[in-house]
């Protein structure tokens, strides 16, 4: 047992307090940016409304009062036939979608750069994924959406029951969802959308097409990522002509807590009100601010910013983009992106959302200000002047090579998850079946999924990635050992 002095500390709280008191320019989620866009009374009384299921507050699992009324307003605002409030983020929503739309053994086409919560839904439902590779962007070292011709070929070859897409990607880019939706209708399959980063699409005509308006049977959105929701605030929109409400409610009751945080629920209600009363004007300002900033950043030697000029047209995996997201290529600077992010944070008081290999992502929302943008541009300008230009483009991983690999599926993710496992060296894993996802960055797409066979080609690619210093997400990030089915 630790000493009394040790227990006088609160390490997590103290770390959070230090971060807040540094007064960072926030280019990360949640979208309210430290409470800037929250209702003042709500912000001041968050602790007071941390309540239980009381007659005045309603019950999330079987709403009959204000939660029911709030969900009806959400559906109306987003143009959905039915909507549900979620308090466990889009993760809970994606799992609920899997349990509502899929059954054990069902073949489902899944975008391979899907969020890990989609994999969690596949494990829980027992569905059999048929993984589809997204369009790769070697200039920015990121993956985009699914080209329509790739989806059409898969729908023709496979007897799938659904297509599960990421709309948009983390980086704000989308495939041609109208084309994908038309393909799904023609082949009689459900369109499921992980739209975690799309809750604002419905509220401005210059943003990409919203999945819930394009024929998706189910769309999950994180209200906290972009709008004025608290962390874990999310919504699930359902087309009741395609999915039965009792089935969806049953799935939600299975996975959602019976003790929801009412401040999270209230923040969804308030974010909806804010969008419906002032959303287009606020988004007008946000888009204009982001576009001005993108143009200023692009003038800094060594930087590029993803823009409309990079779009690759109808039917492609890069058909539309969310201009509020700033995807900044740093490959022209003589410093790695993680080092640049650290300098932005520690020296200039700017906190981006993430740094990948050769790029930095900044999320701008209605909570950002002109002063934030100035700090971002000034910080990048100073760093670019200090580190200088890079003579030649750095290696940014094996993106195109990795996407050409197609590991053999042997088990479903559920079968692999519940199988007995061994931990073996990478060199001795050839021919074994993976029990974990192994994801190199870039491209941020699992090279190996649970249930797929580790071939010699895959192992060779993993060795090359490790030797090149690419970050790899797995149980053992060094890749000395991997987890396989016994």
Q: Tens digits of per-residue pLDDT, 123-175?
A: 999 999 999 999 999 899 899 999 999 999 999 999 999 999 999 999 999 99
25 belongs to a structural domain: no
Q: What percent of the chain has pLDDT over 90?
A: 87
The predicted structure's pLDDT at residue 400:
59
Statement: residue 396 has pLDDT above 50: no
Q: How many angstroms separate the CA atoms of 485 and 334, rounded?
A: 43
Same domain, 138 and 230: yes
What DSSP line would sit under 380-410, residue for residue? HHHHHHHH-B-SSPPP---HHHHHH--PPB-
Helix (H) or strand (E) holding 234: strand 234-238
The predicted structure's pLDDT at residue 352:
97
The predicted structure's pLDDT at residue 443:
66
Same domain, 130 and 242: yes
3 belongs to a structural domain: no
Angle between helices 370-387 and 262-298 (to 10 degrees): 50
Least confident of 83-97, 268-282, 382-396: 382-396
7 belongs to a structural domain: no
Same domain, 203 and 152: yes
Q: What is the DSSP letter of 210?
A: P
Burial of 132 (0-12, 13-18, 19+ CB in 10 A): buried
The predicted structure's pLDDT at residue 442:
66
Same domain, 131 and 249: yes
- Better-scored residue on pLDDT, 401 or 348: 348
The predicted structure's pLDDT at residue 392:
61
Same domain, 285 and 183: no
Statement: residue 90 has pLDDT above 70: yes
What DSSP line would sit under 25-72, residue for residue? EEESSSTTTTTTTS-HHHHHTTTTT---S-TTT--SSS--SHHHHHHH
141 belongs to a structural domain: yes
Q: What is the CATH number of the domain that holds 360?
A: 3.90.1150.10
Mean pLDDT for the stretch of residues 308-334: 97
- Better-scored residue on pLDDT, 2 or 93: 93
13 belongs to a structural domain: no
Statement: residue 54 has pLDDT above 80: yes
Residue owning tokens 């982001």: 290
Mean pLDDT for the stretch of residues 474-484: 92
Statement: residue 248 has pLDDT above 90: yes
- Better-scored residue on pLDDT, 461 or 93: 93
Q: What is the CATH number of the domain that holds 147?
A: 3.40.640.10
26 belongs to a structural domain: no
SS3 218: strand
Q: How many CA atoms lie within 13 A of 242 on its CB side?
A: 24
Domain count, the chain: 3
Q: How many angstroms separate the CA atoms of 447 and 454, rounded?
A: 10
Mean pLDDT for the stretch of residues 301-320: 98
21 belongs to a structural domain: no
Domain boundary among 248, 271, 294: 271
Same domain, 336 and 418: no
428-470 confidence digits (pLDDT tens) = 999 999 999 998 876 678 889 999 999 999 999 888 888 877 7
Q: What is the DSSP letter of 436?
A: S
Same domain, 201 and 255: yes
Same domain, 224 and 91: yes
Q: Note the pTM of the prediction, 2 decimals.
A: 0.94
Q: What is the CATH number of the domain that holds 440?
A: 3.90.100.10
Band (pLDDT 50/70/90 cuts) for residue 206 is: very high
The predicted structure's pLDDT at residue 263:
97
Band (pLDDT 50/70/90 cuts) for residue 241 is: very high
Q: What is the DSSP letter of 161?
A: S
320 belongs to a structural domain: yes
Q: What percent of the chain has pLDDT over 70?
A: 97
Return mean pLDDT, the chain.
94
Q: Which of 82, 353, 363, 47 is nearest to 227 (CA)?
A: 363
Residue owning tokens 């079968």: 415
- Better-scored residue on pLDDT, 191 or 24: 191
Same domain, 307 and 257: no
Domain boundary among 387, 421, 438: 387
Residue 321 domain boundaries: 279-387
């Amino acid at each position: 047992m630790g000493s009394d002095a040790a227990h006088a500390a609160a390490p997590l709280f103290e770390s959070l307090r230090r971060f807040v008191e540094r007064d960072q320019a926030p280019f990360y989620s949640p979208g309210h940016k430290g409470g800037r866009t929250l209702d003042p009374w709500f912000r001041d009384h968050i602790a007071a409304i941390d309540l239980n299921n009381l007659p005045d507050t309603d019950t999330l699992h079987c709403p009959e009062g204000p939660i029911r009324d709030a969900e009806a307003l959400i559906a109306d605002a987003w143009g959905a036939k039915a909507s549900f409030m979620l308090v466990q983020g889009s993760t809970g929503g994606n799992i609920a979608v899997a349990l509502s739309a899929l059954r054990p053994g069902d073949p489902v086409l899944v975008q391979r750069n899907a969020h890990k919560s989609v994999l969690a839904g596949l494990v829980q439902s027992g569905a059999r994924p048929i993984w589809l590779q997204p369009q790769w962007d070697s200039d920015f070292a990121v993956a985009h959406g699914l080209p329509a011709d790739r989806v059409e070929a898969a729908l023709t070859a496979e007897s799938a029951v659904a297509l599960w897409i990421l709309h948009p990607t983390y980086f704000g880019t989308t495939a041609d969802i109208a084309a994908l939706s038309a393909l799904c209708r023609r082949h009689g399959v459900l369109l499921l959308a992980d739209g975690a980063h799309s809750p604002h699409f419905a509220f401005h005509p210059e943003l990409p097409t919203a999945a819930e308006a394009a024929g998706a049977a189910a769309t999950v959105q994180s209200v906290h990522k972009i709008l004025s929701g608290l962390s874990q605030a999310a919504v699930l929109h359902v087309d009741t002509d395609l999915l039965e409400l009792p089935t969806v409610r049953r799935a939600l009751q299975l996975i959602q807590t019976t003790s929801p945080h009412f401040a999270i629920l209230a923040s969804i209600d308030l974010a909806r009100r804010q969008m419906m009363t002032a959303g287009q004007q606020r988004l007008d300002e946000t888009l204009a601010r982001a576009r001005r900033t993108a143009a200023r950043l692009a003038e800094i030697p060594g930087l590029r910013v993803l823009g409309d000029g990079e779009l690759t047209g109808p039917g492609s995996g890069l058909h539309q983009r969310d201009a509020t997201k700033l995807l900044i290529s740093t490959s022209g600077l003589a410093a790695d992106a993680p080092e640049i992010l650290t300098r932005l944070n520690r020296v200039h008081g700017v906190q981006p959302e993430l740094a990948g290999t050769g790029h930095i992502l900044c999320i701008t929302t209605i909570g950002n200000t002109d002063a934030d943008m100035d700090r971002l541009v000034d910080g990048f300008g100073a760093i670019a002047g200090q580190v200088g230009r890079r003579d030649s483009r750095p290696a940014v991983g094996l993106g195109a090579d990795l996407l050409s690999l197609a590991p053999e599926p042997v088990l479903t993710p559920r079968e692999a998850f519940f199988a007995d496992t061994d931990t073996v060296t990478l060199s001795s894993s050839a021919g074994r079946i993976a029990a974990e996802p192994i994801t190199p960055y870039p491209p941020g797409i699992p090279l190996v999924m649970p249930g797929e066979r580790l071939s010699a080609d895959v192992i060779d690619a993993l060795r090359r990635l490790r030797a090149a210093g690419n970050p790899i997400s797995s149980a053992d990030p060094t890749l000395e050992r991997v987890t396989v089915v016994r």
